[in-house]
Amino acid sequence: MKYKAMFIAASTFVFAAASPSTAQEESGRWEMPTNGDLSAMLDCLEESGKTIISAHRGGPSPGLPENAIPTMDAVLHALPAMMEIDVAQSPDGMHYLMHDRTLDRTTTGSGAVTDVPWTKVSTLKLVDEAGWMTPYFVPTFAEALTWAKGRAVLQVDFKRTADFATVVSEIRAADMVQGVILIAYTKAQAMSLYELAPDMLISYSVNVPGDLDEIVAAGIPAANIVAFTGTGTARPDLYSVLEAADVEVIFGTLGRPDRSLDGVFARFGTDERYAELGEGGVDVIATDRPRAAAAALAKADRLPTRGICGITKGGE
């Protein structure tokens, strides 16, 4: 484990230095409607020529760990964004935010998610990307839903331990049916999610137009699909087909830092490429660098502004 308990004071200092400090971030939190018609809001953003950002794993940065509510809150103080989160289930039935199959990398604990009960996980502190222990605890999925209501749309990535039915039930209990996009990686997963949640949007991998045709033929309406079009190469031709079918496009610039487009943009100073993706037909950019992406989109007048499609900013 990289964190050092005896350096907790230094860790706290790192967090303080990383907390929102610019005038923009201090002026209020961006808020996105989560109780209306999510599909209509996405259509509105597309028609307005805007591109929305999805902060991968909640947009971690130094001192602010992944899949943590304070991290997501800090992002929303800087820019309007969706939040992509990972949901796992403990052996005693609690759904909580966790990406890995083990607790070792992101918490002060260790062991497989399948082995450690929530009573133990709930006592662990989260660790940031550099391995420093933070003051934050692992949040439950229910806590994330409560925080997100009226603030941010959540893209829900189901880990292997997560139970679809329970997660959907928690979403309904939180009145967040129009505040989530459920992520499916396979046709079988998409069909299971649609059966449980025909009133929620599903992110489904579409690499060629036939992928959309196939899932629609299987019984899921195109209106329920948001197309995840990969992380490799932009495909304006595919985006045009999806736009004609009124299906929004998600493209990921994330991945391994040394290979992702996020990494390339950072290394070569080509952040304007984020705006080019939006201009080419991408409606949602999933990114590990939400602030850089937002700056590039804002420069090109593609970042949603206050009052656009129901998006507001508190404190103004």
Domains and CATH numbers, the chain: 30-102+138-313 (3.20.20.190)
Confidence of residue 27 (pLDDT cuts 50, 70, 90): low
Confidence of residue 259 (pLDDT cuts 50, 70, 90): confident
Q: How many residues does the chain have?
A: 316
Confidence of residue 71 (pLDDT cuts 50, 70, 90): very high
Q: What percent of the chain has pLDDT over 90?
A: 88
List C-alpha distances in Å: 133 to 12, 22, 99: 8, 24, 17
Q: Which of 115, 109, 112 is nearest to 133 (CA)?
A: 109
What confidence score (pLDDT) does residue 255 get?
82
Confidence of residue 5 (pLDDT cuts 50, 70, 90): very low
Q: Is the pLDDT at 157 greater than 60, yes or no? A: yes
Q: How far apart are CA 84 and CA 52, in angstroms?
A: 12
Where is average pLDDT lowest: 8-22, 162-176, 262-276, 300-314? 8-22
Q: How far apart are CA 147 and CA 129, in angstroms?
A: 23
Q: How far apart are CA 10 and CA 134, in angstroms?
A: 10
Q: Is the pLDDT at 315 greater than 80, yes or no? A: no
Q: Is the pLDDT at 248 greater than 80, yes or no? A: yes
Q: Write the secondary structure of the chain as one string of H (helix), E (strand) and C (coil).
A: CCCCHHHHHHHHHHHHHHCCCCHHHHCCCEECCCCCCHHHHHHHHHHCCCCEEEEHHHCCECCECCCCHHHHHHHHCCCCEEEEEEEEECCCCCEEECCCCECCCCECCCCECCCCCHHHHCCCEEECCCCCEEEEECCEHHHHHHHHCCCCCEEEEECCCCCHHHHHHHHHHCCCHHHEEEEECCHHHHHHHHHHCCCCEEEEECCCHHHHHHHHHCCCCHHHEEEECCCCCCCHHHHHHHHHCCCCEEEECCCCCCCCHHHHHHHHCCCHHHHHHHHCCCCEEEECCHHHHHHHHHHCCCCCCCCHHHCEECCC
Contacts of 27 (CB under 8 A, 6+ apart): 313, 315, 316
Q: How far apart are CA 313 and CA 17, in angstroms?
A: 24
What confidence score (pLDDT) does residue 258 get?
80
What confidence score (pLDDT) does residue 218 get?
97
Confidence of residue 221 (pLDDT cuts 50, 70, 90): very high
Mean of the pLDDT values across residues 53-65?
97
Confidence of residue 1 (pLDDT cuts 50, 70, 90): very low
Confidence of residue 14 (pLDDT cuts 50, 70, 90): very low
- Mean pLDDT (the chain) is 92
Confidence of residue 312 (pLDDT cuts 50, 70, 90): very high
What backbone torsions phi and psi does residue 243 show, to the nearest 5 degrees? Answer: -60, -40
pLDDT one-digit tens code per residue, 185-218: 999 999 999 999 999 999 999 999 999 999 999 9
Q: pTM here?
A: 0.92
Confidence of residue 33 (pLDDT cuts 50, 70, 90): very high
Q: How far apart are CA 71 and CA 64, in angstroms?
A: 5
Contacts of 191 (CB under 8 A, 6+ apart): 218, 219, 220
